[in-house]
Each structure stands twice: as structure tokens, then as C-alpha cells.
Amino acid sequence: MSDINIKQLLDLEVAKRNCEGEICEERLDPIMVAHKYKDPTISLICALFAYGNVKQIVKFLNSLDFSLLQKSDDEIREGLKKHYYRFQKSEDVAALFIALKRLNEKSTLEEVFKSGYLKNRSTIEGINSVIKALQELYPFQSMGYNFLISQVTLKTKGAGALKRWMMYLRWMVREDSIDMGLWSGVDKADLIIPLDTHTFNVSKKMGLLERKSYDLQAAIELTAKLKEFDKNDPLKYDFALYRIGQEKLWI
């Protein structure tokens, strides 16, 4: 299939998916929980826990009391002592809440992200700034917590795709029937696609991606390809690609 035909197919999928009914109980997505609050901090929690079975993700997120983000460290630990999810024990969940609470007492996620992003218009540097701030404000180490917030990285080849962070940025920066557009001053053209296995596999099958390694470099290369279809907003195709893969529409 030619690039022109692929673009036409994707544009149709984007138009079809960009509606309020696309995210519902029958077609769950973690952004459902984020939409309830339209808050950058709660949205980040939703994004960072967005791995694994989507029903389990949404069930876990709905079990959380986000008012704990305004409480003391001890109240947070007590309130979350029975909450755990896959690789994260209750102390890992509490560590994220405490770190985010401390960040919000000093600044905002948007400001901390921009302090890194604006130097070179690099979303990777912006994400690194937030990860560093969380690590410094609440120094905590565990396998589950390190997986949850990811590690500062400057390399792209062989590095994790930062999928959950990239998805969070899509939610914050883009605005349509799916994404919330809660931030300003970050260019949609600078976003990198949140590459998950569905998107990775379907993009290879469609000829949009040649790279065989699932890493951050693959996400960058796929984004560059999508910029050929829309240089100002390449991530408008992300949700459509994800659904095509998830629903096995391209076999």
C-alpha cells in the first residue's frame, strides 16, 4: 500500500475515533479516569500505571483516593497501604503520591517539564526534568518504583520507549475529543509517539516503521514518518494506530 493510501486510511480512522463515545465501558482506556478530574497530576498517575490489562488498570485507578495528594506523608501511606498493582507494592504507590505532592508544593508538573523542554524543544529532556525532580523531592528506590517513574535517559537506541510518559504528554498537549490539552506552550510537533506493542507491530506491518528494535529510537522514527502526513500534529494518528492494532483491523 502506498503512503498516500495509508494516509487516507489513517485520516479516516482519526475522524472515526475522534469522538466522545470512543472511550467507554466497552472500549476502556486509562484516559477515562483522567477525564473525570482533568488534572495534570492525577493524569500522570493514570498514565504511569497504564501498563498491563486495561480492565485491571482502570479498576486500580478507580480504587485510588486522589484527595490524598493534599494530605500528609503519613496519611498518604496509611490511605494507600492496601493498594498495589502488578510490579508496584503499596509503598511504591505511596512514594509516587508523596513525590507528586511535594512537587506541587514547590512548582507544577508543567513548569518542571518546560524547564527541560524549552532548552532544545526536546520532550525527552522535559521528561528527564520531571523524573529528576521526583527523585530529588522524595528519594526512594525500589524495583517497582523505578519501573513506574522510569529513569533519566539521553540515549535512544536500546532505551525504553518511555511510552507512558509520551502518552501523558499527548493527553496534556493535544486537545480534541480524546486528549485534554491542559498545558500550553508545548508544540504538538515536538511530541513523540507513545509506542506500545500494538502500535509497534501494526506500524511495521503497514510499512510505516522499518526498525526492528522496540525502543525510543523506533518511536522517534515512527513519529518522523507520521510527520510526513501531518508535520504540525503527527500524534493525531497515535490513537487510531493503537486501536487498529488492538482491534486487529490490520492482519
Tell me what pLDDT residue 248 has: 77
DSSP notation for 45-94? HHHHT--S-HHHHHHHHHH--GGGGGS-HHHHHHHTTT--BTTB-HHHHH
Per-residue pLDDT band for 19 (boundaries 50, 70, 90) equals: confident
The span from the CA of 44 to the CA of 38, in Å, is 11
Give the amino acid at 15: A
Give CA 83 to chain center in angstroms. 21
Tell me what pLDDT residue 1 has: 74
Q: What is the mean pLDDT of the chain?
A: 95
Per-residue pLDDT band for 251 (boundaries 50, 70, 90) equals: low
Tell me what pLDDT residue 242 has: 84
